[in-house]
Amino acid sequence: MRKKVTLKQIAKELDVSISTVSKSLRDSPEISEDTRQKVQAFAKLYNYKPNLIALSLKNKKTKTIGVIIPEIVHHFFATVISGIEHVANEHGYNVIVTLSDESFDKEVINMEMLANGSIDGFIMSLSKETQHKKDFHHITEVINQGMPVVMFDRVTNDILCDKVIIDDNLAAYEAVRDLIDKGFKKIALITTVDYVSVGKLRTDGYIKALKTNNIAVDPKLILKIEDIDICEHQIEELINTNEIDAVFAVNELFAVTAIKAAKKINLKVPEDISVIGFTDGIISKYSSPSITTVSQNGIKMGGKAAKMLIERLESEEEEDEHYKTEVIETHLVVRESTPTL
């Protein structure tokens, strides 16, 4: 077992000082051609690589980005991580991923853990519980310490920082308008409870689309789901007990569950009932019929967030205080769950 070699060991072996070794490896003009080559050859032979922890301590930079997301077994968040990771890698950064499991406490713990020197900045999406409690002290704390934070998707206006979002309201509006344009009148909405920021925005977009097209908003057609694991029964009831033309669902799972419910009572999709979902994930693509959906490019979102964070990290401490909110464009991916006209 050959342990990693350090400057000190090289110095001892070659009978020079540590600084000489360090300078040789960094091609300092202070060092003679002779010793430089000797040191470099030796270092290469022993496969010397500087210890990143020591560098982090010295430079007060870890070249590492901390990510906190609610869940990773979730296609959208996985794509975001993928986007973050790629951009981060291109710039020589590593990525530490932690999961809040939608829990406020875990979010706080992970944040405090990472804030103690392990990372240079955060990219995060709020947990449900945090959005519910509206308690963001852990985040402001970190920002006050001078550590940049970029929020994505589930964000809040209560915090000043860079953000990357999609226009949830507009995207929902356009999706519902598309249904209206196709002649549907009785359009149901399957959404989340209101404290989930993106759910609320999409709900608002749905309502706006109906109103601007002079369609009455029927509360019976709006289903707000608290726990995604037990949504099946509620969705079936919604579809069974109402005459519905079309369904707009704020995520993939609600959409595919709606389709299953419709099939169960022998309604054909899209002939008898149309469905539009949100988030272009695996389910929408491989469901049958495949699902028309609002695409929300997670890779782009993660990439953008990483880019913003790295730019801020490397802007020489300018402390802009001028925070930006980037909006990633969305578009409707038309598939089989809506009629082709």
Partner DNA sequence: GCACCAACCGAAAACGTTTGCGTGTTGAAA
Partner DNA sequence: TTTCAACACGCAAACGTTTTCGGTTGGTGC
Question: Which residues here bind DNA, judged by CB under 7 A?
Answer: 6-8, 15-20, 22-23, 25-26, 30-36, 48-51, 54-55, 57-58, 60
Name the residue nearer to a copy of itself (CB basis): 180 or 253.
Answer: 253
- 3-state secondary structure (DSSP) of residue 324: coil
| Residue 19 binding partner per list a copy of itself, DNA, none, with a CB distance cut-off of 5 to 8 Å that depends on partner kind | DNA
Which residues, other chains included, contact 255 with Cβ-Cβ below 8 Å and sequence gap of 6+?
A: 190, 247, 249, 275, 276, 277, 278, 283, 284, 291, 293, 337
Nearest-angstrom CA–CA distance, 338 and 333: 10
| Residue 7 binding partner per list a copy of itself, DNA, none, with a CB distance cut-off of 5 to 8 Å that depends on partner kind | DNA
- Smallest gap, in angstroms, from Cβ of residue 268 to a copy of itself? 12
**2 near a copy of itself (CB under 8 A):** yes
**234 near a copy of itself (CB under 8 A):** no
Burial of 286 (0-12, 13-18, 19+ CB in 10 A): exposed
Of residues 260-289, those binding a copy of itself (CB under 8 A)? 260, 263, 282-283, 286-288
- Tracing tokens 């925005």 back to the chain, one arrives at 201
Name the residue nearer to a copy of itself (CB basis): 60 or 220.
Answer: 60
Nearest-angstrom CA–CA distance, 308 and 320: 13
Nearest-angstrom CA–CA distance, 173 and 194: 17
| Residue 157 binding partner per list a copy of itself, DNA, none, with a CB distance cut-off of 5 to 8 Å that depends on partner kind | none
Residue type, 229: D
Longest Cα–Cα distance of the chain, Å, equals 87
Of residues 107-126, those binding a copy of itself (CB under 8 A)? 110, 112-118
Q: Which residues sit at the interface with a copy of itself, rule CB under 8 A?
A: 1-4, 47, 49-54, 56-57, 62, 64, 71-75, 78-79, 81-82, 85-86, 89, 94-99, 110, 112-118, 141, 144-146, 253, 256-257, 259-260, 263, 282-283, 286-288
